[in-house]
């Protein structure tokens, strides 16, 4: 994988996009005299046409060079996107189907590559592209795929420029901090200093010259979705959350049930009450698949401060600081999904208590089937399995109990990540790895009073939940789902 420091940040191209948002992975060489080939936006994590800094950068390069613009998306082979289950793949493909239709309406060709990212260099060559623009994810499989593509284009010496744009974070991950941050406090102080420079309105997409090259093959979406979903492990799709940009915007701003229009007032008071799921934004599926930009959510939230300043601040803290801290963690910590990624103090305390006697020990299968002695935990597991999105407060309790009920922290972490990635519609996300690491390995947290099994890792229990909310009401709510 490319170590973060080996590629230099901008300035590159016309200044539509903050130069520090863009990194030059390969400079490329314009061919003298010839008309520059098209600019290709390789869409990975930010699956949207509006409010997308990577697309804006690609379009501004294309407009400046009088070159056409295309979008490419490649399905990842196993073990990443295809290790997504039917639930996540269905959401992804149905979102892409809408995106492809929107792209066609804007006369932007959309190339869907079924064979994986290794097909990207071939497409770049076939189209005679002058530049490839990728968006950003800190996760290993995506970084490895991007590195492989950059390596191949460099070897070919075809003169194609490759840029990367962080279109997911409000403050680009490499601009927010140059190192692994210890806590939300250290990260917050860095982000606050530069936030205003990045939290700006999005410009419109510049006009580009019409596409006159190879046309993408027609996609029979029904056949494709059916085939991909049939091949994937059968975790049923969800029906309460429509994929795509329009539905994402409706969840944020819709007049009937939009988060900012009708629900944000209670966010500060009620967001930790699992019996009031509507107090949360419900945006995580859209943020995960990039159907909405966190920056758009933040800009719109700031306009609602008059409704409840405390709620807006609490929401911005989760949306910007906590979410982007998770990207910081996965970007600078290669072991983001194993005990090796925990701080020394946490590894030590967990090791010291690995041999402690547990009241219960459950297998992964028992946990997956919600067969524990704790009805509250079982309800949270079933909320995730059937609904596809566990309440945020319950996620902490759920993961901590897995630490308590398995033979050691390694096993606990791997089971928590396995279940989270398998069933959550927003799973396979930096937030998920950071969330499991926070709960089980004390990531971004401090040491607490030492106790059996947990050592100095923060502890949560049933009695604490009972004091906080109506546990029976939550269990009944999950039964009705």
Q: Which residues bind ligand FAD (CB under 6 A)?
A: 271, 280-284, 287-288, 318-319, 322-323, 326, 392, 395-396, 399, 420, 424, 426-427, 429, 431-432, 435-436, 438-439
Q: Which is nearer to ligand FAD, 57 or 387 (CB)?
A: 387
Q: Write down the least CB distance from residue 294 to ligand FAD, Å.
A: 7
Gap between the Cα atoms of 5 and 67, Å rounded:
31
Query: Helix 184-198 to helix 323-332 angle, to the nearest 10 degrees?
Result: 110
Three-class DSSP category at 97: helix
Q: Which is nearer to ligand FAD, 13 or 282 (CB)?
A: 282
Gap between the Cα atoms of 295 and 199, Å rounded:
7
Gap between the Cα atoms of 395 and 439, Å rounded:
9
Q: Which is nearer to ligand FAD, 76 or 418 (CB)?
A: 418
Query: Helix 392-405 to helix 375-382 angle, to the nearest 10 degrees?
Result: 120
Q: Which is nearer to ligand FAD, 49 or 279 (CB)?
A: 279
**Nearest residue to 302 via CA among 468, 170, 143, 392:** 170
Q: Write down the least CB distance from residue 425 to ligand FAD, Å.
A: 9
Q: Write down the least CB distance from residue 115 to ligand FAD, Å.
A: 28
Q: Which is nearer to ligand FAD, 47 or 130 (CB)?
A: 47
Gap between the Cα atoms of 156 and 132, Å rounded:
14
Q: Write down the least CB distance from residue 217 to ligand FAD, Å.
A: 33
Q: Write down the least CB distance from residue 280 to ligand FAD, Å.
A: 3
Q: Which is nearer to ligand FAD, 62 or 170 (CB)?
A: 170
Gap between the Cα atoms of 432 and 426, Å rounded:
8
Gap between the Cα atoms of 401 and 399, Å rounded:
5
Q: Write down the least CB distance from residue 469 to ligand FAD, Å.
A: 15
Backbone angles phi, psi at 455, to 5 degrees: 60, -125
């Amino acid at each position: 994988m490319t170590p973060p420091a080996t590629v230099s940040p901008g300035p590159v191209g016309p200044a539509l996009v903050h130069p520090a948002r863009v990194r030059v992975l390969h400079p490329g060489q314009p061919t003298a005299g010839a008309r520059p080939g098209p600019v290709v936006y390789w869409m990975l994590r930010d699956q949207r046409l509006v409010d997308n800094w990577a697309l804006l950068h690609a379009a501004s390069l294309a407009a400046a060079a009088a070159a056409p613009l295309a979008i490419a998306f490649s399905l990842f082979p196993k073990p990443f996107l295809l290790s997504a289950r039917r639930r996540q793949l269905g959401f992804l493909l149905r979102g892409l189907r809408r995106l492809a239709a929107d792209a066609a309406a804007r006369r932007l060709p959309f190339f869907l590559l079924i064979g994986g990212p290794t097909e990207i260099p071939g497409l770049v060559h076939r189209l005679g592209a002058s530049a490839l623009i990728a968006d950003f994810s800190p996760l290993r499989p995506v970084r490895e795929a991007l590195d492989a593509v950059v390596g191949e284009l460099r070897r070919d010496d075809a003169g194609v420029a490759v840029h990367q744009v962080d279109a997911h974070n409000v403050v680009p991950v490499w601009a927010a901090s140059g190192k692994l941050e210890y806590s939300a406090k250290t990260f917050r102080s860095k982000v606050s200093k530069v936030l205003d420079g990045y939290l700006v309105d999005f410009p419109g997409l510049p006009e580009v010259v019409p596409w006159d090259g190879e046309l993408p093959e027609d996609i029979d979406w029904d056949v494709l979705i059916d085939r991909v979903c049939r091949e994937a492990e059968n975790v049923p799709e969800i029906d309460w959350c429509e994929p795509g940009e329009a539905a994402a915007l409706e969840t944020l701003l819709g007049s009937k049930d939009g988060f900012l229009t009708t629900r944000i007032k209670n966010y500060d008071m009620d967001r930790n009450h699992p019996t009031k799921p509507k107090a949360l934004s419900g945006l995580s599926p859209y943020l995960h698949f990039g159907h909405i930009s966190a920056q758009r959510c933040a800009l719109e939230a700031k306009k609602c401060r008059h409704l409840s300043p405390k709620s807006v601040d609490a929401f911005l803290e989760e949306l910007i600081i906590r979410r982007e801290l998770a990207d910081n963690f996965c970007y600078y910590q290669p072991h983001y999904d194993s005990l090796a990624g925990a701080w020394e103090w946490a590894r030590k305390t967990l090791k010291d208590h690995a041999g402690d006697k547990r009241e219960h020990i459950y297998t992964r299968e028992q946990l997956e089937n919600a067969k524990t002695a704790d009805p509250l935990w079982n309800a949270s597991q079933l909320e995730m399995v059937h609904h596809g999105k566990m309440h945020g407060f319950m996620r902490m309790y759920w993961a901590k109990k897995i630490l308590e009920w398995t033979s050691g922290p390694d096993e606990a972490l791997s089971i928590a990540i396995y279940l989270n990635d398998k069933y959550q519609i927003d799973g396979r996300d930096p937030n998920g790895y950071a969330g499991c690491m926070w709960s089980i390995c004390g990531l971004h947290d401090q040491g607490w009073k030492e106790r059996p099994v947990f050592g100095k890792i923060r502890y949560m229990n049933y009695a604490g939940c009972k004091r906080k909310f109506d546990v029976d009401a939550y269990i009944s709510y999950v039964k009705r789902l």
